[in-house]
Amino acid sequence: MADYKSNIPRLPARTSELMANAHPSRRAFLLATAAATAGATLGAWVPRSRAAGTIGGEVEMMAWEGYTMQNEAADFIAKNNIDLRPAIMGNQDDVTSKLVGDNPVRLDMVEYSNGYGAQYDELKIMQPLDLSKIPNYNAESMFPPFYEADMWRWDDETWSIPWVWGLDTLIYNPDTVPFEIKSYKDLLRPELTGRVAMLDNPLTTFPQIAKVAGYGDKYPLLTADEMADCFEKLKPYRDQTKVYATSNGDVVSLFTSGEIDACFCVWNGVTVSTTEQNVRTIAADPIEGGAVWADSWFIPHTAENLDTVHALINEALSPEVQAGMCTATASNTVSPLALPLMSDDAKQYFDYANFKDEFAKLKIYGLPPLTSDEHATYADWIQAWADFRAGF
């Protein structure tokens, strides 16, 4: 696998996520590209048995590009004779489409971004983890926000294990913006008219929309009227926006080509990519706050090689793999034990020395519910976002 930095300006594909039915033309494109990588290796699932307690053999994995651990856990994979068969997802719907329905495909180990656990629980495509087989998942080896939190644990079971995370926030070019950005309201200044991008990514953008509108504490459980108010209050920002970027890599290109001076909300790893192309960008610390994305591993209902998957999840939490992943993907570690193995460059994305105080300013957001009689649903948000982008 090519090193992450060799692919600049393309960032790991987890950040180009768009959900099903949000924009049919883009969904068709993403599913077409996913077929080349995922569909070729995944067949219809036929249940098979495997001897309990054995590690090795085939593991059908689905993960974001750059997050398959083939390099970082190479020794462990070879030592245990694991035939790791990763399929790369272009968006989170690739996972859903493979696992939902009457003809699911075999997947043993799958990655998902925060927020989708509740949806996957409702769709009944997850199975609980056996924590006795994941000894690296313990209070001493994990930063507190990522250990036994409600985002990954409910009904007295742990359903997934977070293993990498990062920050989404406002990014701007200090060499072209003649003032320090301290609030989202600064994006409305006349100097930035037509110089702003918004990322076309619900998981990244929706929480920030709610914050800007004054509903950050309630998101994702807003009423339909509250959701409508969010988009009404966002209209001045739409007037400042030049383009809706399709991915984090697209944002990098827009900055480096000089087409934009700021992005409403995007992964802070973008700053590294632009700097390597001699364009300086910085992550703002707006008074409205940023948001956390966190990717986790889960075992779907079609999994067969359970012991090996538990062993791989355990290895994903090892200090060595954690340090390697953070270096390769510009992500943050969930384990304090990885910090001594990480370079200063790999630790630049978060103030680990003041972890408790700094993380207290952040929040890991979920997604609106799939169904609800009380709150705006995910489909409601997607439709409102599409209408907003179309100028309605």
79 in the same domain as 62: yes
Any domain includes 359: no
Same domain for 233 and 132: no
| Domain identity same for 323 and 240 | no
| 141 shares its domain with 228 | no
The answer to the question of residue 358 being in a domain is no
> Both 28 and 159 in a single domain?
yes
Is residue 49 domain-resident?
yes
Measured between alpha carbons, how far is 66 from 13 in angstroms, rounded to an integer?
8
Per-position DSSP letters for 31-81, written without gaps between them: HHHHIIIIITT--B-------TT---EEEEEEE-TT-S-TTTTHHHHHHTT
Residue 362 placed within a domain: no
Q: Is 145 part of any domain?
A: yes
Domain for residue 360, yes or no?
Answer: no
Nearest CA to 270 out of 239, 247, 290 is that of 247
Q: Is residue 274 part of a domain?
A: yes
Q: Is residue 15 domain-shared with residue 29, that is, in the same domain? A: yes
- Asked if 150 and 232 sit in the same domain, the reply is no
Contact criterion met (CB below 8 Å) for 252 and 9: yes
In a domain, 215, yes or no: yes
The amino acid occupying position 377 is: T
Q: Are 333 and 341 in contact (CB under 8 A)?
A: no
Number of domains in the chain: 2
One domain for residues 175 and 146: no
Q: Which pLDDT belongs to residue 101?
A: 86
Residues 34 and 105 in one domain: yes
Q: Which residue has the tokens 């085939």?
A: 58
Specify the pTM: 0.78
User: What CATH code is carried by the domain that includes residue 273?
Assistant: 3.40.190.10
Given a contact cutoff of 8 angstroms between Cβ atoms, the answer to whether 221 and 115 are in contact is: no
Q: Which domain holds residue 275?
A: 167-291+370-389
Q: Cα(244)–Cα(231) distance, rounded to whole angstroms?
A: 15
Clarify whether residues 49 and 109 are in a common domain.
yes
Spell out the per-residue pLDDT of the chain, length 392, in tens: 333 222 333 334 443 333 333 333 322 322 233 333 334 345 555 555 555 568 999 999 999 888 999 999 999 999 999 999 999 987 788 898 899 988 899 999 999 988 888 889 989 999 999 999 999 999 999 999 999 999 999 999 999 999 999 989 999 999 999 999 999 999 999 999 999 999 998 888 999 999 999 999 999 999 999 999 999 999 999 999 999 998 888 999 999 999 999 999 998 889 988 988 999 999 998 999 888 899 999 999 999 999 999 999 999 999 999 999 998 888 999 999 999 999 998 998 899 999 999 898 888 888 899 899 999 999 999 999 999 999 98
Q: What span, in angstroms and rounded, lies between the C-alpha atoms of 60 and 308? A: 11
pLDDT at 9: 33
| Residues 142, 172 share a domain | no
Q: Are 101 and 194 part of one and the same domain? A: no
Residue 378 structure tokens? 């995910």
